[in-house]
Structure 1
Amino acid sequence: MKVHNIMEVVVVDVLKKYKDQLHMPCTCEQCMNDVLAMTLNHLKPQYIVKDSNSAYVRALHEADRQGSTAILTKVAWAARVVAENPRCDKLRGPSE
C-alpha cells in the first residue's frame, strides 16, 4: 500500500517559488529540508493514493488564497527559525 502526502509537494513548490524572498542566510539542502520539515509539521497532511489526484489537490491549494497565504506564512516562519538556528556546516561554527 502506498500513500503520499501531497502537502509535501505543495510546500516544496512554495519554497522554490519564494526562496529568494525568504532572505535566508543559507539555502543548502540541510537548511531547506529543515524548513520543509518544520513547515510540514505545522500543516494538516493531505494524503492521496493515486498520483493522478495530485494535480487536483494542488490546484485546490493554489486557488484558495487563504490556504496559500497560510502555507506561505508557515514557510516564512520556518525559514526564520532555521535562519536563526542553523544546523548546517556552512553557518555553524567549527566548535559547535
Structure 2
Amino acid sequence: MGVHNVMEDVVRDTLMTYKNSMNLACDCERCLNDIMALALNDLPPRYVANSKFSPYIRAEHQADRQGATNIITVIAKSAAKVSSSPRCETYAQTKQHN
C-alpha cells in the first residue's frame, strides 16, 4: 500500500455528497479533480501506512462537527473558485453552443 492520505477519501466523499447543492458550473471529472486539489491544499493531510487505520481517521472527521464543517467550507470555497473559471473542455464546448 505505501502511504495514503485519508483526507483524499474524506474530501472525495464529502464532495460527492454535496456537489448537487453547490451549483457547480461543471461537474466533469476534471472540474471535480480541480476542486479536490484546491481543497486538499487547504486541509491538513492525514496519512496512514496501513489501510486498516483509514476507517478510524474517517470516523474521527465525521464525529468532529467543527472539523466536518471546516471540510465542507473549504470544499465549497474551492468549488466556487473552479466554477467561476472552469478549465475543462466540457464547459468550453457547452459555452460555445449557448
TM range (shorter): over 0.9
- Aligned-residue sequence identity (percent) comes to 46
For residues 91 and 84 of structure 1, what CA distance do their matches in structure 2 show?
11
Counterpart in the other structure of 2:70 = 70
- The 5 Å alignment of 1:31-46 reads 31-46=31-46
Measure how far apart 1:81 and its partner are: 0.2
1:2-39 CA-to-partner distances (Å, cap 9, x unmatched) read 10000000000101100101110210000000000000
- Equivalent pair of 2:61/2:67 in contact (CA under 8 Å): yes
Q: Secondary structure at the match of 1:44?
A: coil
What count of residue pairs does the alignment treat as equivalent? 94
Q: CA RMSD in A?
A: 1.3
Ranges in structure 2 where 5+ consecutive residues have no aligned partner: none
Counterpart in the other structure of 2:21 = 21
Q: Secondary structure at the match of 1:79?
A: helix
For residues 46 and 56 of structure 2, what CA distance do their matches in structure 1 show?
12
Using structure 1 for the length normalisation, give the TM-score: 0.93
